[in-house]
């Protein structure tokens, strides 16, 4: 009921990204001219091509999804300049710059644990092996802001079927890359590194859960979790772990990073729930980036039809 | 370095304008939303510096909150600086700094009730009761109100120096509450609130030392006189 029918054209076409990029190029040009005069020392850097936007590679997006929302996607500049990515900085505006040092090729995702056979996947083989589909999802941060993001990715369930979990696999544990040289935020013990997230196996098999590889039809910008990240839109954003290098199928509930940092504030499930406050702030409302007035937060971030059945009989106030 | 009255008056104008800087910067950023161009170092640095970014209300809230704390700490630095540097004229800037702390605190509070809560009194009451960091932040702000009101020379006269002084020691409580407010609202990175807390601790320890040392001296003087008997 809350999921609206998807529009006939993919968002990469309805969003005036080209216009935006052109304006950006113009601004960049003007800036180079100005900066070259005033800030001579930067000139050397200015000659190098920028990576965040211009180097972005188009993904081969094969289809749209019935799960996409028809809500207006958040502009790319906000998606790429307002990021919680503590591996680079606890400031939201810094990962856009600091993450550019991350090497996303070669990149391997290892799968181990309760599977018939251990496997490791090269990122490019994942991109060609699985059909890349656009999924326009609402994204709700535990801090009380939200976006609408046109992800590109593939079904986590399809991926897990490929690695063949055995009967003992009850949970899926995801781990982010750990390399303090490339990820300067990991030099501080703000959180326990590497970042770990987890899902119950039935949550992971839900068709809404995807491994995302792109945004707006292009490869994932580094600050958004390149080259591959989880997206579970009915949970708070921090569950959607970024820059994944390891996926393990495990028998018991993994200890997740934010849960370890503050168990009373960030539960293992962390489903979006307007009726369960964060101990320090209300979760009833959210500020959609780009909007002035706050809007009501929806149960399961509006994905109740797809996921509510996963939690039948569970006290969501206890299992927050 | 003794300054003439005229010099102090000029300096006061300069400091006043400087204190308006944070408000000016916020206003300027709000009016000039430069698009993000993170591929270019110069502009990349400018993205967060010269626009309010993706979540303007958050930036306004954080910025006004930060400057409230900074001005509280500056106000509390006047007395130590004046005494340690033997520059008595510095005292003439204390009221202005204190009032700017109140000014930014007021803007911070207004951002909360207007831009965050949209004057939803019911929600605000729940917040103040239920959320520790808001309770303590609200306390910090409310305690500044009587100080701002009684900051005039007229009020100093009416209250009398000593009573006025005692009342204005509330700034210690307000600053402590302000730092706790900051400490309790961050998610995991405590470095900044700890930094503010450390500066505040130094400023308060200075006062504690100033209060204790002469009393210790009295005691030991007393002991010495007994010993001599």
Parse chain B into domains and list their residue ranges: 5-206
Non-local (6+) Cβ contacts of A273 within 8 A are A283, A299, A300, A316, A320
Q: What is the pLDDT of residue B118?
A: 86
Are residues B44 and A97, on separate chains, in Cβ contact within 8 Å? yes
Please state the ipTM of this predicted complex: 0.80
Cα(A273)–Cα(A283) distance, integer angstroms: 7
Which residues of B fall within a CB distance of 8 Å from A100?
38
Specify the pLDDT at position B33.
Answer: 64
CB contact (8 A) between residue A52 and residue B53: no
Please say whether the beta carbons of B198 and B205 come within 8 A. Answer: no
- Counting other chains too, the contacts that B81-87 makes at CB distance below 8 Å and 24 or more residues apart are B87/B1
The four Cα atoms B168, B173, B179, B182 give a dihedral, to 10 degrees, of -100
The Cβ of residue A200 has, within 10 Å, a number of other Cβ atoms equal to 16
Confidence of residue B53 (pLDDT cuts 50, 70, 90): confident
How confident is the model over B72-126, as pLDDT tens digits? 999 999 999 999 999 999 999 999 999 999 999 999 999 999 988 888 888 888 8
Tell me the residues of chain B between 28 and 57 that have a Cβ less than 8 Å away from chain A: 34-45, 47-48, 53-55, 57
In this complex, which of A32, A262, A294 lies closest to B40 when CB atoms are compared?
A32
Say which range, A244-253, B183-192, B194-203, has the weakest mean pLDDT: B183-192
DSSP string, A282-302: --SEEEETT-SS-EEPPGGGG
Higher pLDDT, A12 or A75: A75
Q: Which residues of A touch B36 (CB under 8 A)?
A: 24, 77, 80-81, 96
With cut-offs at 50, 70 and 90, classify the pLDDT of residue B194.
very high
When pLDDT is cut at 50, 70 and 90, the band that residue A153 belongs to is very high
Which whole number is the average pLDDT over B34-55?
56
Nearest to B39 among A53, A281, A282 (CB): A53
The predicted pLDDT at position B187 comes to 85
pLDDT the model gives residue B4: 82
Please report the pLDDT score of residue B223 as a whole number.
Answer: 61
What confidence category does residue B42 fall into, taking pLDDT thresholds of 50, 70 and 90? very low
pLDDT in tens, A40-53: 333 333 333 333 44
Q: Please say if the pLDDT value at position A290 is more than 60.
A: yes
Measured CA distances, B95 to B29, B159, B164, B176, B215 (Å): 29, 16, 13, 19, 29
Facing residue for A289 by CB, picked from B54, B126, B184: B54
- What is the β-pairing status of strands A61-63 and A145-155? unpaired
Cα–Cα distance between B16 and B10 in angstroms, integer? 10
Does the pLDDT at position B179 exceed 50?
yes
Average pLDDT of the residues of chain B: 88
Interface mutation target, options B32, B44, B53, B54, chain A, most CBs of A under 10 Å = B54
pLDDT band at A283 (very low <50, low <70, confident <90, very high): very high
For B53, the closest of A23, A52, A82 (CB atoms) is: A82
Distance from CA of B154 to the nearest CA of A (A): 42
pLDDT band at A64 (very low <50, low <70, confident <90, very high): confident
Cα–Cα–Cα angle for B199, B202, B205, rounded to 5 degrees = 150
Provide the pLDDT for residue A266.
96
Ordered structural domains, chain A, with CATH: 11-137+154-231+242-253 (3.90.420.10)
Q: What is the CA radius of gyration of chain A?
A: 20
Tokens 């996921």, located at residue: A307
Work out the minimum CA distance from B22 to partner chain A, whole angstroms: 19
pLDDT at A197 over 60: yes
The answer to which of A43-57, A164-178, A181-195, B198-212 has the lowest mean pLDDT is: A43-57
**Stronger pLDDT, A235 or B132, i.e. the higher one:** A235
Q: What is the DSSP code string of chain A?
A: --SPPPPSS-HHHHS-HHHHHHHHHHHHHHHHHHHHHH-GGGHHHHTSPPSTTTTPPBP-EEE--TT---SPPPPHHHHTTS--BTTTBSSSSSHHHHGGG---SS-EEEEEESBSS-EEEEHHHHHHHS-EEEEEEEEE-TTSEEEEEEEEEEEHHHHHHHH-B-TT--EEEEEE---TTT-GGGGSTTSPSSPEEEEEHHHHTSTT-EEEEEETTEEPPGGGT-S-EEE-TTB-GGGS--SEEEEEEESS----HHHHH-TTTS-SS-B--TTS-BTTB--SEEEETT-SS-EEPPGGGGTHHHHGGGGTT--TTT--
Of A167-171, B2-6, B183-187, B217-221, least confident by mean pLDDT is B217-221
């Amino acid at each position: 009921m809350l999921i609206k029918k998807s529009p006939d054209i993919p968002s990469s076409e309805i969003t005036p990204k080209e216009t935006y990029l052109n304006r950006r190029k113009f601004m960049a040009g003007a800036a180079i001219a100005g900066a070259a005069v005033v800030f001579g020392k930067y000139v050397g850097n200015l000659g190098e091509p920028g990576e965040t936007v211009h180097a972005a590679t188009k993904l081969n997006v094969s289809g749209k999804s019935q799960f996409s929302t028809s809500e207006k996607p958040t502009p790319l500049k906000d998606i790429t300049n307002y990021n919680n990515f503590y591996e680079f900085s606890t400031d939201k505006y810094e990962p856009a710059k600091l993450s550019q040092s991350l090497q996303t090729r070669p990149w391997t995702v290892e799968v181990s644990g309760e599977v018939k056979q251990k496997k490791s996947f090269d990122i490019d083989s994942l991109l060609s092996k699985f059909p890349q589909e656009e999924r326009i999802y609402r994204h709700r941060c535990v801090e009380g802001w939200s976006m609408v993001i046109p992800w590109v990715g593939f079904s986590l369930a399809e991926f897990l079927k490929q690695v063949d979990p055995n009967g003992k696999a009850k949970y899926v544990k995801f781990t982010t890359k750990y390399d303090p040289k490339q990820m300067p935020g990991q030099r501080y013990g703000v959180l326990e590194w590497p970042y770990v997230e987890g899902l119950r196996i039935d949550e992971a098999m839900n068709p809404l859960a995807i491994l995302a590889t792109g945004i707006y039809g292009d490869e994932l910008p580094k600050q958004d979790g390149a080259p591959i990240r989880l997206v579970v839109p009915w949970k708070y954003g921090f569950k959607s772990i970024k820059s994944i290098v390891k996926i393990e199928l495990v028998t018991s509930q993994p200890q997740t990073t934010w849960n370890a940092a503050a168990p009373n504030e960030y539960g293992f499930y962390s489903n979006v729930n307007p009726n369960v406050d964060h101990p320090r702030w209300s979760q009833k409302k959210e500020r959609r980036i780009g909007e002035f007035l706050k809007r009501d937060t929806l149960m399961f971030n509006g994905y109740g039809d797809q996921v509510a059945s996963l939690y039948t009989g569970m006290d969501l106030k206890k299992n927050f | 370095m003794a300054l003439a009255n005229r010099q102090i008056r000029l300096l006061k104008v300069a400091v006043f304008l400087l204190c308006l800087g944070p408000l000016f910067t916020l206003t300027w950023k709000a009016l000039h939303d430069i698009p993000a161009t993170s591929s270019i170092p110069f502009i990349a640095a400018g993205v967060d510096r010269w626009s309010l970014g993706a979540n303007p209300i958050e930036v306004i809230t954080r910025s006004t909150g930060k400057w409230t704390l900074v001005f509280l700490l500056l106000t509390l630095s006047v007395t130590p600086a004046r005494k340690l540097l033997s520059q008595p004229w510095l005292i003439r800037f204390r009221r202005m700094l204190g009032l700017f702390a109140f000014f930014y605190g007021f803007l911070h509070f207004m951002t909360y009730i207007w831009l965050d809560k949209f004057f939803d009194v019911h929600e605000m009451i729940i917040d103040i009761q239920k959320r520790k960091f808001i309770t303590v932040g609200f306390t910090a702000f409310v305690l500044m109100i009587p100080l701002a009101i009684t900051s005039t020379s007229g009020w100093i006269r009416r209250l009398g120096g000593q009573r006025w002084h005692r009342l204005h020691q509330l700034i210690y409580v307000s600053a402590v509450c302000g730092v706790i407010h900051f400490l309790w609202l961050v998610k995991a990175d405590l470095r900044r609130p700890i930094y503010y807390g450390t500066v505040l601790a130094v400023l308060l320890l200075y006062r504690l030392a100033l209060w204790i040392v002469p009393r210790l001296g009295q005691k030991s003087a007393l002991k010495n006189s007994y010993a001599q008997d």
